Chain A
Amino acid sequence: DAGVIQSPRHEVTEMGQEVTLRCKPISGHDYLFWYRQTMMRGLELLIYFNNNVPIDDSGMPEDRFSAKMPNASFSTLKIQPSEPRDSAVYFCASRFDSSYNEQFFGPGTRLTVL
């Protein structure tokens, strides 16, 4: 398996534009997580899905952020409109519904909002 795949790897956009980040989890994994990492706040969980259903979105910063998982092999994180403070590295992770919490992370998308 290729692991968790994220695209794009780098995104530079201007304030006010819509940004869509994409994630393909490892095949067969039941859970999918979106994290954001900044120097100031470290690594934060934004939202996670179980069997394509959003379970906890309490980490989503505001209504400008939305996430979907239309099927077991694809998820998107959308920011509309984007702001400079959204600049961060966004990670997607997935795991089996197993008895412990081993999450497999993708390489991340580095987002820069000018």
Chain B
Amino acid sequence: DAKTTQPPSMDCAEGRAANLPCNHSTISGNEYVYWYRQIHSQGPQYIIHGLKNNETNEMASLIITEDRKSSTLILPHATLRDTAVYYCIVRGSTGANNLFFGTGTRLTVIP
């Protein structure tokens, strides 16, 4: 499985965009990039995933570089409730069910 590298922590001002980077230089052609987050004392929550193209949903946007070796999760208007640990995971689709959660990025949204 492709390993991911994320900064251990980041701060973001409330109302500003939070840009969380992830490096996955060994990603293979059929592997997706998934983002999950874990708010304190809760279970992880799925945010978004993508293969090649940029993706957007009601929670966030995912920008994947053309060579697919890195990606950025964007929370367009961060709120205090977005304070959490964000995990970038690279994995296949069906048939590859193990999600390996690394150490993630601890995002703190500051009032």
A residues whose Cβ falls under 8 Å from a Cβ of B: 4, 31, 33, 42-43, 45, 48, 50, 55-56, 91, 93, 97-108
Contact = CB atoms under 8 A, between A and B. Distances in A.
A50 B97 CA distance: 10
Instruction: Please report whether the interface of chain B is mostly helix, strand, loop or mixed according to DSSP.
Output: loop
Interface residues of B, number: 21
A101 B44 contact: no
Nearest to B43: A105
A56 B93 CA distance: 16
Nearest to B91: A101
Instruction: Please report whether the interface of chain A is mostly helix, strand, loop or mixed according to DSSP.
Output: strand
A107 B93 contact: no
Given A98-B94, A101-B91, A42 B46 contact: no
B94 to A, nearest CB: 6
Nearest to B96: A101
Contacts of A33: 97
A102 B46 contact: yes
B42 A101 contact: no
A104 B46 contact: yes
A31 B101 CA distance: 18
Nearest to B32: A100
Contacts of B44: 43, 91, 93, 103, 105
Contact of B49 (A31, A50, A97, A101): A101
Contact of A42 (B43, B97, B103): B103
